Structure 1
Amino acid sequence: MAKTQTENKTVATTADVQAFINAVEPEWKRDDAKIVATMMERLSGHKPKMWGPSMIGFGQYHYVYDSGREGDMMRTGFSPRKTALTLYCIGGFKNKEKLLAKLGKHSLGKSCLYVKRLSDIDINILEEIIAKDLEYMAKKYPG
């Protein structure tokens, strides 16, 4: 099947990450966003970039699906959404379930981890989840 490059809805932008974080309300959510941004930058080794209007991503990778569709996406990232801090860091790494069981109050989506507040979880376990997900992504999408 021929490769297809279709226009993705979520793409990296040149928007100012700090301005976006500084506008997050309420203050506790802004503080949580700053903590997660600092952690993801340190763990990924990449500076933050805005992806779309409300996602902060670190690094990127190129994917190609069996269907031939391909594109680029952030390696890890998050969004301080209204109802929860949405973290894009739930890949297929080993022992994911064991770590999630120790994390604290959270919920899961297809590839998202939802946390209302960082004070609801064990931040060290979150750091381990992000680190393991980045290792998984580096093996699955080298480069």
Structure 2
Amino acid sequence: MKTAEDYLEWVPEKRRDAMRALHELIRRTAPDLEPVIVYGMIGYGMRPYETKSGSSGEWPLVALANQKAHMSLYLCCDGPDGYLAEKAAARLGKVSVGKSCVRFTKLENLNLDVVEELVIEAAKE
């Protein structure tokens, strides 16, 4: 897969509309975050990083992935109060949230207004 469109076509049909809707939301909300295929997902806005131990590389600010049991939206940045996804967990809907990962099985379980707000915040990084 070379493009976001390739990835979306690869996603199983039962999830394709949900993944496409989120892709379009991200592109509309943060058009400067260019999509790329990275680490088996669509990444938006690649940025350099360096860990406390000294390793470095590039990682997307936002990412979208089809997993075996769910879909995942990654908001890979934090604000002054902590990780964006973790901080907004109670407002994101009927989803499972880690530090930067929002896992969901149906698009209607995800509060898209909050997702849009978080993508805007991530794009400011």
Question: Per the alignment, in what secondary structure is the counterpart of residue 23 of structure 2?
Answer: helix
Amino acid at match of 1:21: L
The alignment status of 1:113 with 2:90, answered yes or no, reads no
Give the conservation status (yes or no) of the 8 Å contact 2:61–2:77: no
CA drift of 1:35 comes to 1.0
The alignment status of 1:24 with 2:17, answered yes or no, reads no
Percent identity between matched residues is 25
Give the conservation status (yes or no) of the 8 Å contact 2:89–2:97: no
Moved more, 126-135 or 29-38: 126-135
Which TM-score applies when normalising by structure 2? Answer: 0.82
CA pair 66-34 structure 1, distance change in 2 beyond 3 A = same
Question: Per the alignment, in what secondary structure is the counterpart of residue 77 of structure 1?
Answer: strand
Of the three residues 34, 39, 45, the one matched with 1:47 is 34
Amino acid at match of 2:120: A
Which TM-score applies when normalising by structure 1? Answer: 0.73
Number of equivalent positions? 121
Between Structure 1 and Structure 2, which shows a larger proportion of strand residues? Answer: 2
Amino acid at match of 2:25: M
Unaligned runs of 5+ in 2: none
Equivalence map 1:34-113=2 (5 Å): 34-44=20-30, 45-52=32-39, 54-89=40-75, 91-93=77-79, 94=81, 96=84, 99-113=88-102
Runs of 4+ in 1 over 3 A off after TM superposition: 94-99
Moved more, 114-123 or 40-49: 40-49
Unaligned runs of 5+ in 1: 1-13, 139-143
